[in-house]
Amino acid sequence: MESWSIHQYENPYLDAEFSSQGECLEITSQGESFEIQASSLDGCDILRLINPRDECWQLLLSGKKESELGDLVEQMDELGIIREENQSLDHLQTFRRRVDSLVFEALEILNQHDEEIDEKILESIWIDLNNVRKGEFSSNEVVNEHNFYLAILKGLFCSWKYSNSFVLEVVSRILEEVLNKDVGNHTLEIGFVIKDQIKEIQECVTSFVWCVCRSQGKDSERHFFREDILIDCTDTGLNLGITSEKLARDCLDAVSSSPYMKALYQPEHQAVLARATYIQEYFINERFVEIIAPAIAKKLPLPLKALFRRYYAEEIGHEAFERQTCITLGVNCTDLDSMIPLPLTQAFCDVFTWLANEEVLAYFLSIVITEGLPGEKNIINSVLASSSIFPDDVNRASLEHEDLNDELNHQMISRLVLSQISYVSEAEQERAIKLFLLVLELNCRAWDELYRHHVEEKRPLCPMSMRAFFTTEN
Ligand SMILES: [Fe+2]
Ligand SMILES: [Fe+2]
């Protein structure tokens, strides 16, 4: 853990009163008195610390002030008499302004698409949202929803309820405005504000607006929805896993000639696609801890608990491999940290997290989506490694990641976990498979979205605002 210092304060000041006692200085703060030996210190300097604007603080914070005063400030900080200037109301106001402008931006985009969006659908989204908020939502509604984007929206609401319930309030406000709902006071209740929290909200609202706008498009029916899954007996978790792997292979074969996969082999698209791809890989890997944490937090018997703890220990930090490839490809780190991921990449991580939280069996099946199906090679890595337009070692870090994944048998984690499940009812098998196929489709659609966004529409590699996903001037 990093060490604590006065640099962690934005505007520190000394919250105390002083009186001189001969060689000593008596400091009184919040009813408590302390004596300090300050003979060699300029008493004036200490008195100046009462004012957070005093130049003395700048000198101290920049290390230009004599260390004796610095040591004294450190001691006073330990005693809790250095305080942060209270600007919390300003911070609240800034946060409210940012949320307002995010809502405004979302409304502007939705209004631009209002001819494509059926009000009845918006109404049904609003009802789902409220049911999730009230705890009256059944996840069967996700399982059986035929419209891909509406199914994802429902899954996102379920996810945000636990991961960031404030997003549900923001999204609700957007829908109320669009639907002209008279709900009285629109002011969002805010209990506390976390620094930079707005970015997380912005990412979620972007995927919300994206799914709403796409929900009425011609390609909104679920591709991998199966009514004909033949389940006629109860089974073991392992058999269920093997069945879902087979279904996944069938589905993936059907989309193996997707525009993304075709473009991947074309050198003229590889510069853009490689960067966009590894950015996406980085974001998904970076979310590993949030995704696995709800599953680990369950009361699991020892063998499963041990498996998950081991998986956690082996996988944590692997985003560094993908980040390194991004850097090698020339992606700017500051851009990477401040950009908004593609809406479906964001949705993939959020829906996956929801499964780990509330649909654990489907989560166990879905681990193969990020770790790879047994025996399968990473085609993207190998195509880009042999590309004529890059140096040989352009994705060395990602190839090392793949080798490590093989070494650690991560493609078999899903089976290892499922081998601990001795019985699954017919209904539960069907639910888990349908959810698994939804997440698999989400993953495939995220790649297609990446192709459309960066290759077809030539949009910026590192979008910094929601608008960047919707503007038409590109
Ligand atoms: Fe990994
Ligand atoms: Fe892995």
What are the DSSP calls for 32-44, one per residue? EEEEEE-TTS-HH
Strand, helix or coil for residue 438: helix
> How far apart are the CA of 442 and the centre of ligand 2, in A?
19
Interval 110-162: pLDDT, tens:
999 888 888 999 999 999 999 999 999 999 999 999 999 999 999 999 999 99
User: Taking the model in full, what pTM does it have?
Assistant: 0.93
The domain spanning residue 454 has which CATH number? 1.20.910.10
| Domain boundary residue, one of 46, 65, 84 | 84
32: phi then psi, degrees, rounded to nearest 5? -110, 145
Residue 7 has pLDDT above 60, yes or no: yes
DSSP lists the bridge partners of residue 221 as: 147
**Same domain assignment for residues 321 and 385:** yes
Measured CA angle at 166 (ends 161, 171), to 5 deg? 90
Q: Which two tokens stand for residue 148?
A: 């891909």
Crossing angle for the helix pair 197-214 and 343-358, nearest 10 degrees? 100
**Same domain assignment for residues 67 and 173:** no
DSSP lists the bridge partners of residue 147 as: 221
| Domain boundary residue, one of 23, 58, 84 | 84
Instruction: Place 225 in a pLDDT band, splitting at 50, 70 and 90.
Output: confident
**Same domain assignment for residues 195 and 253:** no
> How far apart are the CA of 333 and the centre of ligand 1, in A?
20
**Same domain assignment for residues 265 and 153:** no
Task: Please tell me the distance from the alpha carbon of residue 466 to that of residue 377, in angstroms, as a whole number.
Answer: 34
Instruction: Place 42 in a pLDDT band, splitting at 50, 70 and 90.
Output: low
Residue 299 has pLDDT above 80, yes or no: yes
Instruction: Place 27 in a pLDDT band, splitting at 50, 70 and 90.
Output: confident
Stretch 169-184: mean pLDDT, rounded?
91
Give me the pLDDT at residue 474, please. 43
Give me the pLDDT at residue 472, please. 67
**Same domain assignment for residues 96 and 47:** no
Stretch 74-91: mean pLDDT, rounded?
92
Residue 401 lies in a domain: yes
Residue 220 lies in a domain: no
Residue 166 lies in a domain: yes
**Same domain assignment for residues 293 and 307:** yes
**Same domain assignment for residues 252 and 398:** yes
Crossing angle for the helix pair 396-407 and 319-328, nearest 10 degrees? 160
Residue 230 lies in a domain: no
> How far apart are the CA of 399 and the centre of ligand 1, in A?
11
Q: What is the identity of the amino acid at 441?
A: E
**Same domain assignment for residues 198 and 51:** no
Stretch 206-227: mean pLDDT, rounded?
92
Closest to 347 measured CA to CA, from 151, 181, 165: 151
> How far apart are the CA of 279 and the centre of ligand 1, in A?
15
* 177 within 8 A of 436, measured Cβ to Cβ: no
List Cα–Cα distances, 204 to 102, 173, 210, 434, in angstroms: 11, 14, 10, 24
Residue 43 has pLDDT above 60, yes or no: no
Residue 70 has pLDDT above 90, yes or no: no
**Same domain assignment for residues 359 and 256:** yes
Give me the pLDDT at residue 237, please. 98
**Same domain assignment for residues 268 and 346:** yes
> How far apart are the CA of 332 and the centre of ligand 1, in A?
22
Task: Please tell me the distance from the alpha carbon of residue 13 to that of residue 48, in angstroms, as a whole number.
Answer: 9
> How far apart are the CA of 401 and the centre of ligand 1, in A?
6
**Same domain assignment for residues 154 and 246:** no
> How far apart are the CA of 315 and the centre of ligand 2, in A?
5
> How far apart are the CA of 7 and the centre of ligand 2, in A?
37
Ligand number with the minimum distance to the CA of 414: 2
Ligand number with the minimum distance to the CA of 406: 2
What is the domain extent for residue 61? Answer: 6-84
Ligand number with the minimum distance to the CA of 411: 2
> How far apart are the CA of 322 and the centre of ligand 1, in A?
9
Residue 115 lies in a domain: yes
Q: How many domains does the chain contain in total?
A: 3
> How far apart are the CA of 162 and the centre of ligand 1, in A?
25
**Same domain assignment for residues 72 and 94:** no
Task: Please tell me the distance from the alpha carbon of residue 38 to that of residue 70, in angstroms, as a whole number.
Answer: 13
Residue 204 lies in a domain: yes
Residue 239's Cβ-count burial label (10 Å; 0-12, 13-18, 19+) is: middle
